Amino acid sequence: MSTLEEYRTRIRENDKQLLRLIRERFSIADKMAEVKQSKGLPIIDTDAEQSALSNLAHAARELGLSTEFARRFGELLIEETIRVEEQGKPRQSKDQLLKEVVELALRLSSKGERVTRFEIGEPNFPASPQVIQGLTETFRKKKIVGYGPAAGLPELRRALADELNVEHDTEIEPDQILITPGGRFGIFASIAGFVSQIERVVIPQPAWPAYEECVDFIKGRVIPLNTTLEERWEIDVGKLETELRKGARMLILNTPSNPTGKIISKSKFEEIIELAQRYEALVLSDEVYDKYVRARAPSILESGRENYIYVNSFSKQFSLTGWRIAYLVTTKENAMRIKRVIQTVATCVPEFIQNAALVAIKKGRREAQRNINAIMKKVELTCRELGKIDVSFYRPDGTFYVFPRANKPNFDSVRFAKQLLEQHRVSISPGQAFGNYPAFFRLAVSLPAAKIPGAVKAIGKAIDAWSL
């Protein structure tokens, strides 16, 4: 046998021994899963994962191995261990809780039933005639071309930069802006571009479930930071610092918040951004509801920092939800990194959609704001009606959402949402979709004002009749 073949034989034996040890590790993981289940503990323990990775890095240094290799090896082991522990116990998607209500409402509507839609986060005003005209003009003049730039049309990015610089007193350049196929994709591209497997992402909750879905998709780790109605949905800065100190790759902020309508105060916002800077966490600031406000919300663009990605969208401001167009603002270096995700997954946003968005900025802003103001009045009406039923809630600072809590013990908003839809033909979003909030539900005030009193009254009646 040649020396080379001897080496290969030894490697094969080492590989077998390694697999035996891994099999033993999975056997231990099976037993751990049983213990966790008996104690009602979650499968994923992010602190234990970080400890395991730290131990592997220490062992690698002692053995003269690459700590980067040790990390990659550890991440693979952890993911496989979780897969073993979760066998037969699939994770429930929070996003799916929302989709189930929407699908049931659509099924009933398709049968001719009249359903009052309090669950869908979509403005009920139409796109402005100027925007529609801009779209048809693009077709008429045959300005439809092939693939466009992955970052977006230069003239749209320039218009956005000019508008943002006036609004926020900044010096944003077009190369810092990326046009994305919707806000959700912009958030996904940002997370996919910067968060690696097992890296931690801190998300104050309650929160839009898409954040968690995106982090889970790339096998990152969601670190929920719970807030409460009693504390007026304020972020506990001390608890946030504790999580950031442990090592977080990203912090996601949403102000005004979906679902609570909470606006983070300027002083607290600055304190949070300072903490993120200190612990080198990238801040993803979702500000798509910044025009749905009673008082101006703080913006990451005015922070003077560079560790950020700003997200905004044409969907909510101009009622272009189905058109799928949004935009990001970040540093030029970060933009190049995110652009690679866009190129790989989406290529570009269709240019005729971007041309229509350009018209929206130039000609549709005034009408859009009138429509937004009308929706905000409906939010006020909803709050007045909610004051007549057995719920507690925070009067929203912004957005077109209200997040009430039913004042009933052992309330289950998933079950309640289905019963309400089946018995009263009113659809709402269950609180569990936004975090550990089973007693809460979200109302999206995007329905005609005339329907609001009757729908809220039906909700109150169903709450009064609630029992397990």
Q: What is the pLDDT of residues 399-416, one digit of tens each?
A: 999 999 999 999 999 999
Distance of alpha carbon 109 from alpha carbon 4, whole angstroms = 71
* 1 pLDDT more than 60: no
Mean residue pLDDT of the chain comes to 91
Q: Name the percent of the chain lying above pLDDT 70.
A: 98
pLDDT at residue 468, as a whole number = 63
Domain 18-85 listed as CATH 1.20.59.10: yes
pLDDT at 88 over 60: no
Structure confidence at residue 437 (pLDDT): 96
Intervals of CATH 3.40.640.10 along the chain = 129-363
Structural contact between residues 444 and 433, judged by C-beta atoms closer than 8 angstroms: no
Report the distance separating Cα 250 and Cα 189, nearest Å.
13
Taking each helix axis as running N to C, give the angle between helix 365-386 and helix 351-363, from 0 to 180 degrees, rounded to the nearest 10. Answer: 80
pLDDT digits (tens, 9 = 90+) for 97-134: 888 888 888 898 888 889 999 998 888 888 888 888 87
Model pLDDT, residue 96: 83
Asked whether the predicted pLDDT for residue 142 surpasses 70, the reply is no
Q: For domain 129-363, give its CATH number from 3.20.20.30, 3.40.640.10, 3.40.1000.10, 3.90.230.10.
A: 3.40.640.10
Would you say 230 and 440 are in contact if contact means Cβ atoms under 8 Å apart?
no
Domain ranges in the chain with CATH number 1.20.59.10: 18-85
Q: How would residue 225 be classed by pLDDT, with cut points 50, 70 and 90?
A: very high
Q: What is the mean pLDDT of residues 141-151?
A: 78
pLDDT at 306: 85
**Mean pLDDT confidence for 34-56:** 84
Percent of the chain with pLDDT over 90: 63
Q: Is-contact 338 193, C-beta < 8 A?
A: yes
pLDDT at residue 90 tops 80: no
Smallest CA-to-CA distance from 209 within 73, 101, 50 is with 101
Residues of the chain with CATH 3.90.1150.10: 94-125+367-464
pLDDT of residue 450 exceeding 90, the answer is yes
Lowest mean pLDDT among 104-113, 156-165, 371-380, 437-446: 104-113
Rounded CA-CA distance 198/74 in Å is: 10
Least confident of 44-58, 192-206, 296-310: 44-58
Helices marked H in 45-169 = 46-63, 67-85, 94-110, 129-140, 154-168
pLDDT at 139 over 80: no
Residues 416 and 439: their CA atoms lie apart, in Å, by 10
Topology of the domain covering 94-125+367-464: Aspartate Aminotransferase, domain 1 (3.90.1150)
pLDDT in tens, 347-366: 999 988 998 999 999 988 88
